A = this chain, B = another copy of it.
Amino acid sequence: MTLLIACQQSSRDGFADGLRELGPTLDVRIWPDAGDLAGIRYALVWKPPQGVLASLPNLKVVFSIGAGVDHVLGQSGLPDVPLVRFVDPNLTMRMGEYVCMNVLMHHRRVRDYAELQSQATWKEVWPQPGANELRVGVMGLGVLGCDAVAKLAMLGYRMAGWSRSQKKIEGVECFAGEDGLKPFLARTDILVCLLPHTPDTDGLLNTELFSGLARDGPLPGPVLINAGRGKLQVEADILKSLETGDLWAASLDVFEEEPLPSASPLWAHPRVIITPHNASISDDMAVCRYVVEQIARYEKGEPLENVVDLKQGY
């Protein structure tokens, strides 16, 4: 059995070593050293170079490193084989860390207190609402979104969720679809976006959406936290809304262009917290374990898990 690793970034050697250790019967190759293309049954990819997947006549399954698969779907001539997303408790836990931390940091005014500390000034920033006075809304109620909702609820926040199709989560107000968006935003002080990038969600985070967020909360204004995909957001609109007050602050882990160009005004904005798309990085060995396990299932004729619905894009 032959597997090809085709990545434009990431630690390709790490994946190769891990796969060889966990799946000794696997013949692991790293693109562009692909050898006989007809022999390749599996591909493990992150932003695969254009045309690579189309050149594999006997490909059976494509595995995505990462929960989102937009980096694969942009490919022309994508073969008609199952595309499997990476879903892992570790990935979920890491995203929960990122989301809880960033909600807390805006809520508890970390940037203001850092500024006061730099001036050696002992001073309170008022008001000091409790988590139970803040309404957090999570867009995207998949595995990551549901976990974030549960953790934020446990910290005391008043939670709601929004998703394309109606979901039910005990104790959480769930909104859905286009009709549900406006009332969802209107009750939200802190917006957390964990949506996948699809044609439907492209550029969704724009001035119009921001202007619909709650303006009567206990913080100086609405907060945006995006750890989904950069293409969900219009960065010029984020800057404009920070100016008008439709947004008070933001945490961005993803960007229209990555790495975020050094000329972007986002870097220097005092109310924007930037991280380099590392909210939840797939752990190399966890990816390898997952792929080896899925291949074993497939070879035994069992169904693959977390196969992407290509129409929905996730």
Give the interface of A toward B (CB within 8 A).
Answer: 90, 93-94, 96-98, 100-101, 104-105, 107-108, 110, 113-114, 116-118, 120-124, 128, 130-132, 151, 154-156, 258-260, 262, 264, 267-268, 273-276, 278, 281, 283
State the 7 A-B residue pairs at the shortest beta-carbon distance, nearest first.
A122-B259, A101-B104, A120-B267, A120-B262, A93-B156, A122-B276, A117-B274
Bound complex: CA A124 to CA B278 (Å)? 8
Bound complex: CA A36 to CA B161 (Å)? 57
**A97 surroundings in chain B (CB, below 8 A):** 104, 107-108, 130-131, 155-156
Q: Nearest residue in B to A275 (C-beta to C-beta)?
A: B113
Bound complex: CA A98 to CA B267 (Å)? 26
Shortest distance from the beta carbon of A277 to any chain B beta carbon, whole Å: 9
Given contacts A100-B100, A122-B276, 13 further A-B contacts (CB under 8 A): A90-B132, A93-B130, A93-B156, A94-B131, A96-B155, A97-B108, A97-B131, A105-B110, A114-B114, A120-B262, A122-B260, A123-B276, A128-B281
Shortest distance from the beta carbon of A237 to any chain B beta carbon, whole Å: 20
Residue of A98, A114, A130, A268 with most chain B CB atoms under a 10 A cut-off: A130
Shortest distance from the beta carbon of A45 to any chain B beta carbon, whole Å: 21
Shortest distance from the beta carbon of A54 to any chain B beta carbon, whole Å: 31
Bound complex: CA A151 to CA B100 (Å)? 11
**A283 surroundings in chain B (CB, below 8 A):** 130
Q: Is the CB of A156 within 8 A of B100?
A: no
Q: Nearest residue in B to A259 (C-beta to C-beta)?
A: B122
Residue of A120, A123, A260 with most chain B CB atoms under a 10 A cut-off: A120
Taking a contact as CB atoms closer than 8 A, the residue among B93, B108, B110, B259 that contacts A131 in the complex is B93
**A110 surroundings in chain B (CB, below 8 A):** 101, 105, 110
Shortest distance from the beta carbon of A263 to any chain B beta carbon, whole Å: 8
Bound complex: CA A63 to CA B43 (Å)? 68
Q: Is the CB of A268 within 8 A of B120?
A: yes
Bound complex: CA A118 to CA B272 (Å)? 11
Bound complex: CA A268 to CA B114 (Å)? 10
Bound complex: CA A113 to CA B267 (Å)? 11
Bound complex: CA A260 to CA B113 (Å)? 14
Q: Is the CB of B124 within 8 A of A276?
A: yes
Shortest distance from the beta carbon of A282 to any chain B beta carbon, whole Å: 11
Bound complex: CA A37 to CA B116 (Å)? 42
**A131 surroundings in chain B (CB, below 8 A):** 93-94, 97
Q: Is the CB of A96 within 8 A of B128?
A: no
Bound complex: CA A110 to CA B122 (Å)? 22
Q: Is the CB of B100 within 8 A of A273?
A: no
**A113 surroundings in chain B (CB, below 8 A):** 273-276
Shortest distance from the beta carbon of A286 to any chain B beta carbon, whole Å: 10
Q: Is the CB of A128 within 8 A of B267?
A: no
Bound complex: CA A273 to CA B116 (Å)? 11
**A107 surroundings in chain B (CB, below 8 A):** 97
Given contacts A120-B268, A122-B260, A124-B276, contact A104 B93 (CB under 8 A): no
Q: Nearest residue in B to A101 (C-beta to C-beta)?
A: B104
